[in-house]
Every structure is written in structure tokens, then in C-alpha cells.
Amino acid sequence: MMNKMISLYKDDINDLEKIFRINLINSCTGFKSANLLGSVGSDGIDNVAIFSSVTHLGSNPPLVGFVLRPKTENRNTYDNIIETGFFTINHIHINDVKDAHHTSAKYPKNISEFDKTKLEKILIGEFIAPYVKSSRIKLGCKYVNEYHIKENGTILIVASIEELHIKEGIIKEDGLIRLDVAESVTINGLDVYLKTVMIDRFEYARPNNN
Amino acid sequence: MMNKMISLYKDDINDLEKIFRINLINSCTGFKSANLLGSVGSDGIDNVAIFSSVTHLGSNPPLVGFVLRPKTENRNTYDNIIETGFFTINHIHINDVKDAHHTSAKYPKNISEFDKTKLEKILIGEFIAPYVKSSRIKLGCKYVNEYHIKENGTILIVASIEELHIKEGIIKEDGLIRLDVAESVTINGLDVYLKTVMIDRFEYARPNNN
């Protein structure tokens, strides 16, 4: 039996009440990654902020991307990355979702979110940007480039992975990090946090001859 | 107690065995969206292919992005989008993961993956590109622009959402689509599919004065 569907066309979407449209469009593309970006300004003040747009861009060289909102938004993370050239990406886990979400509050640049949440900062080696201590998967990244998406004023930041710090026991023999075992969470829309349960893992797909 | 961490630095990552590095780097950024992109060429042959890089770019106007690999890969989806200007994004659900994964096999352009899997095609109204019938969240999209990521030869495709077809009962009063209720899946790395369980939903975060 065919599911009964609600259809919305371009004009319908434009006419939606603003908050309804934001929630709908933010959830219709599927699940998002849940990361805390750690950075420090040239003034020495740390910043940690939640991002749901961190994406894999390539493995050789190891590159990641994430999307920043237009300049009208609080952009301490962007300013810090431009000032110092480095930042960290830290997975959000089940026990940290409340504090991670709170980093989306708009604090002024002279206040560190590490002082406003239970999230603890940790420095590793010589890396300038702060990591989140409780995070089981930490990436140390270097700013490489930015692409300005002229259609809506967002910016795609491209960064290289300089170092990885991963909790023992969650990397499989073939390199896969089991994110469910790590208890990393995923995001639905702007504000829903979810844990995951593995369904299946498949072999590399090859054409069949039927 | 501090978790024991495995640290890998740039040279360590470069020296990893190729498959190990691909699995590691593909899983270290977190969970990905799981979508089937439907398209049709000017020759009338349909294509449906899995993508894990579809990302929200903005809600006003409603824009999505996804990343295509360099030209060395099979790019029937890209060719079709350029030829016709339109494509569909269809969520992958728990019952479809095996067939959805199989669309990553490299079939020649004259073979439709709809004929090689149990995935069924459905056309809706005048929209030229095929939808996946079993998908409970379907987006009809129009190609808008592309950005070439010179650092590794990937392409960011930017597209507008022209229409939405969403199963009844999964949209909340405030517009949020409950992806867990829809049984949409998420992807870990290249080949692990997972279902989700909601942990919590939070209010819009505001600074506190403590």
C-alpha cells in the first residue's frame, strides 16, 4: 500500500510560517553529524561551539568541510580560525548533549563556553586549539580554504586533518571507527539529539548479472 | 578517569594502509545522511544512486548541497543533473538499506539501478526526475550551481528544493520531521547503516548569567 503523502510545492514552502519552515527544511535532508568545534582567538580566549554541518570531503589528503552561516550570525569560531589557522573537531556523546546544545547560545567573544558548561578543555601537545576532554573522537584541523556560496551567503570552510585522538577500542581492524560503540550522537533538525543502533554492514557493492 | 587515546599525526595518517585510511577518515567526522538520488538522462534512462553527503545549506531560500567525487568515478548522477537540470533526494529507511547500498555498484549508464534492485520508481506530477516509491521523505530539487573544491577535485553541487512529499504523521506541529519515527537511517563511514533512538530535544539556547 502506498503511504499517504503530504505534498508541498515551492509556493507552499515560501508561504510557511518562518519557524515551521526552518524546522521542516532543516530536517528534510536527513541526519547530521554532531560536533563541537574548539578554537582560540589571538586574545587567548577559547571558544567551543556546536556544528551540525561537518562533512567528509576526502581521505587522501584527509579533508573535512563545514558550513558557516552569513555574517549576521555570531561567528567567533570563524574569527578564531582565521586568526590562528587551527581548530579542533570533537564528537558529541550521549552524556554531553545538554551542554553541547548550550554552546549554541550567543555569548560575547570575551566569554568562553568552557566556563558556561560542564565541558572541559584539554590541550594536547603543541596544538594551539583546545580539545573537548570528554570527546572520544578528536580531530586537530588546519584551515585550508573557504568557498563563498553566493546563493545564500554561507561559507564552506575546507580544512585538513592534522592529527586524530581516538579512544582505544572503537577502531575496527580495517580502520572503521564504530560511532555507535563510541556513543557519538546524531542530530535531527536544529535541536533533536539521537543515539544509534547498527542495522548492518555491507561489502563493497559490485554489479550483478541478473 | 581520562579515556586512553590512540593518537595519529599527519605522517602516521599518510603511512596508513589505503583501505584502513579510507575507513578511518570516512568515519571520523561523524554520522552522515543516507539518501538515494534519482535522476534521468536525456536518453530517458533512469539512475538511482546512494549519497551520504547531502547537507542542509539554508532554509530561506531552501537550499541543499552534496559532494561529488572527482571525474575518475562513475558520475551518471552528475551527467543526468546537468542534462535535465533536476533530480530527487529520497530518504533511505530500515527496510531498504540492502538495496540502497547496492546502488553504489558501478553499472554502466544504459542500465537503471531500478532494474537491478527492489527499489521502485515513481513519478509525481510533472517532475521529470524519478522518485523512490518506498521513501517517506522525498525532495524534488533543481540544480543551481556548483563549486569546484580545488584541494581534491571534488564538486559541491548546490540545489534548490522545488517540492517536498512527506509521509503523513511524521511532521510535528512546529515543522520538525521526526526522522526516527520515519525510520530514516544514518551512515557510519562507507558501509555501516544505523537506525536511531531520540535522546532529547532542547529549546533554543540562550546565554545564562551564572
| Overall number of domains in chain B | 1
Tell me whether residue A9 is in a domain: no
Task: Tell whether the model's pLDDT for residue B35 goes beyond 90.
Answer: yes
B74 interfaces chain A, CB cutoff of 8 Å: no
Residue A159 β-bridge partners? A64, A143
Three-state DSSP class for residue B8: strand
Q: Euclidean distance between the first and final Cα of chain A, in Å?
A: 27
What ipTM score was computed for the predicted complex, to two decimals? 0.96
In three-state secondary structure terms, A61 is coil
Would the CB atoms of B30 and A30 count as touching at under 8 Å? no
The reported pLDDT for the residue numbered A208 is 86
- Domain contains A21: no
pLDDT of residue B2: 54
Tell me whether residue A16 is in a domain.
no
pLDDT in tens, A2-52: 558 999 999 999 999 999 999 999 999 999 999 999 999 999 999 999 999
Helix (H, G, I), strand (E, B) or coil at B20: helix
Please, are residues B64 and B6 in contact by the beta-carbon 8 Å criterion? no
Closest to B139 in 3D by CA, of B148, B147, B130, B126: B130
Residue A74 contacts B, CB cutoff 8 Å: no
Is A64 among the domain residues? yes
Strand partners for B72? none
- B22–chain A Cβ distance below 8 A for any pair: yes
* Residue found by looking up cell 567526522 in the block: B29
Q: What is the pLDDT of residue A1?
A: 45
Residue A179: CB atoms within 10 A of its CB come to 31
Q: What pLDDT score does A71 carry?
A: 67
Torsion sign across C-alpha atoms A7, B134, B107, B101: positive
Among A155, A196, A197, A203, the strongest candidate for a mutation testing the B interface, having the largest count of B CBs within 10 A, is A196
Residue B6 lies in a domain: no
What pTM did the predictor assign? 0.96
Cell numbers for B126, please give them: 510533472
Query: Is the residue at A205 inside a domain?
Result: no
Listed by number, the residues of chain B in 139-178 with a beta carbon closer than 8 Å to a beta carbon of chain A are: 139, 144-145, 147, 149-152, 154, 156, 158, 161-168, 171-172, 174-178
Written as nine digits, the cell of B178 is: 521526526
**Distance in angstroms (rounded) separating the CA atoms of residues A122 and A100:** 16
Q: Is A204 exposed, middle or buried (0-12, 13-18, 19+ CB in 10 A)?
A: exposed
Q: What is the DSSP letter of B48?
A: E
Least Cα distance to B179 among B39, B56, B28, B25 occurs for: B56
Tell me the residue type at A208: N
Per-residue model confidence (pLDDT) at position B208? 86
Higher-pLDDT residue of B88, A109: B88
Residue B59 lies in domain: 33-194
- Could you tell me the CATH number of the domain that includes residue A111? 2.30.110.10
Average pLDDT over residues A151-172: 97
Position A158 in a domain: yes
The phi-psi region of residue B52 (left if phi > 0; otherwise alpha if psi is between -120 and 50; otherwise beta) is alpha
Instruction: Please list, residue by residue across A72-84, b when 16 or more beta carbons sit within 10 angstroms of its beta carbon and e when fewer do.
Output: eebbbbbebbeeb
Q: Is residue A138 part of a domain?
A: yes
